Structure formats: structure tokens, C-alpha cells
Structure 1
């Protein structure tokens, strides 16, 4: 696939196939998950980077490669070299201008822009078109840990574009796992009113609170220190709130 093959190069090669490097001539080729490249292809890629030439499968004459190579991986190439799975000389050839992109959960400020962009593209491609994302749904997206990074976010947006309806992407359209953090918070104070908690916490950029102390602090902050309002958000009597504040050393509010 990378270098192409000539007709008859192997069983089933009934016609010549142009490889990705030839198609990218004069431009850029992006090699994703480079750490998973087989050892035999690593040697061929190293030759391309060093000599700017390659030979198609079954061919006999080298072809010139005028291509800029960009590669990516979620693994540590140094560890792959240590494990014997990746060539050290190829690693150095690839690392001309290295860039490290933090995980999506470490740059949550990008989630809203990415989610909106994915929805716009999906709508333009014929999927259901949302005009906006409801704040509660956006907060659920912000709370999520995104172990699958941007690809997982894109998959979620594809999911809602299939099951969605209406102009607004609401929280009930998201997969169930995006409501887990809210359920954990409501288990802390099961008597709390979910609607009040949503309204109180929707504007915060912080993850949904998952401990009793965190929930107390967030409720007090949302209520601007007003104990009666904070108690209402948490669904408890004001005297209970005072007792818990004293228990957690929050009497400074």
C-alpha cells in the first residue's frame, strides 16, 4: 500500500497499483500509529527518508520520493526501541521536529470547539443537523475522561447525529456513560434535586463533583456563599449543611 506494486508481482496482482508515496509526490503523507509499522516496512521507510528513493513491489527500478512525511503515535517510540519493536535509526529520522499533543482530558477547553466542528461537518454531509449543544450536554462532555481522545469524541458526535432529533443536542441524546458522573454525585446526596444541581453547576468548567466535600464547595460557590440557596441545591436542611460544613472545615464561607 505504501509503495505500490507492478502487475504480476504476486498472486492476485492482476493490475499495477500506485502506492501512497507515489500519490503523495510533491506533497505530504501522514503515517498514523507509526509504532505499529512492521519491521520489514520500517527498513523500507528508513530508505525513503535517507535516500529519497523506493522500489515498488515486484519492480526493479527505484523511484524518487519528493514527499514530506508526518507521523503520529500514541505510544512511546523510545520504549518501542527498548523493547526491540522499533528501529532506533528510524526513530531519529522521524523525530526531526517532534510535537507532543496532550490528551483531550488535559485540554478540556478544546472539547466545545471540536464537538461543534464535528457536528457541523456531519450535518453538512447529510446527517442530522443540530443548531447548538445544550449547556447540560456540554457539561457532560466536559466531565468525561476521554480515554479514546479526539477519535472517541468524533465517534460520540457521529452517534448523536444518527439518533438525534430537534435543533438542540440535549443530554438525553448522549450515550449512557456520559451521565455516570452525575449519577455518582446524586448518590452522595440522593435527596438533591437534579434540575437544581444542573442549573447550579452547568456554567462551571470543572469536572462534576464526585465527593461530598467537592459537592458542598461547588454548591456554596454557585450560591455565592448563601447557605439557604446551597442547602436547597443539595436538597438538605440548612442546619445539616452547617454541620457538614463544620465537619469538612468549610466554616469560612
Structure 2
């Protein structure tokens, strides 16, 4: 990545790309509606016609589209169709929110420096899938989520923000995933996007700058679970 991100127009134009339930989408909508995020969602797009996140988008009155990835035999052909639909919405930022496909390098480069993802682990630990089970198998004391810029290498882009919770001795992968979603992911994504749209965080020549200085350490907030949660 060789370009640089900069403060965007107000409100910033967001495209959200998803495959599933849309819980992070719902959190972003709430952050916008309550004035915590100076942005508007100009498109929600999914690779699945039956994605539950599309229903959330429709109920919120947001423009939405579905491009069935199973109808494409070549990944790059689907990515070109998806990219064209996204470009048509003229976004400042493209947010992956539970998007369950690996993107081609050409797609990533097309949206370089403005393509963002939230990943359910404390990267660089546990890139890829099944992060909650892997955290438990590794005996991790803490588990969390990372919002990061997307580069062609999987889950390897520069981090913007992280947050974590304590792993309980009796946690199952599904329990840990649910608690992480509610206590961390749905709070973290809007905060990180807020950093970007305000210009507080910028990417310059592949390096994250925060408040005018190189971000040497990614902000990592601890969100210990409430006993009754």
C-alpha cells in the first residue's frame, strides 16, 4: 500500500460489506443515529441473497444490494462485480463487517487505504477462521478483536484499534464469541471508524498515524466481562 488516507467529507460515506447476521452493521447504524459517528451508510452489499444483515439494512431504510457469489465460477469475476457496485456508491470507506470471503489482491488494491475489516482476535494472534476455538485451545487468558486496514495478505494489515475481554475457565467457543461480539466488537468498530472519518487516524505509506504521530502501539482497551453477563 503506497497511498495515504486523509480526513473525509462530512458526513463520511460508508459502504458496508457483509455475509451474515449484520450485528456490526446494526452497531454502526446505532452509532450514526445517536451522533457518535459522523457518517452515513450509502450502501450495504452482501454476497448472499439470504444474509440477515440485508434485512437490518432494509428496516433502517438503507440502500442495499446482493450479488450472489455462488453464481460466479471465478472468484476474480465476482470481485470485479462487487467492486463495481461499491464504486457506484462513491464511498470514502469500505467496511467489511462479517464478510466471509477472501478478497482477491486486485479488489484490495482497488480500495487500498480505505478498506477496513474487523477481525475477532487480537491480531497477529489467530488470523483466519475459528478464532474463538483456537483461543481456547491455546489457553489464552484474554481474547479480543482488531480493526485493521486490509492488505492482500490475510488479516495482516496495520491495526487501528483493539479491545479484549478475559477468557473464563468454563467458556465454550460459542459463549466466548457471543460475549466478544456484544462487549467488544459492537463497540470497537464504530470507535475505529470514528478515528478514520475524523482524520485522527491516517495511513501514510503503509504506516498508521494517530494524532499526528506514528502509532507505535495499537490502542488496546480491556473490557472485562460483567459477572452476570
TM-score range, shorter chain: under 0.3
Q: Tell me the TM-score normalized by structure 2.
A: 0.24
Which structure would you say has the larger Rg? 1
Which one scores higher on RCO, CA 8 angstroms, separation ≥ 6?
2
In proportion to residue count, which structure has more helix?
1
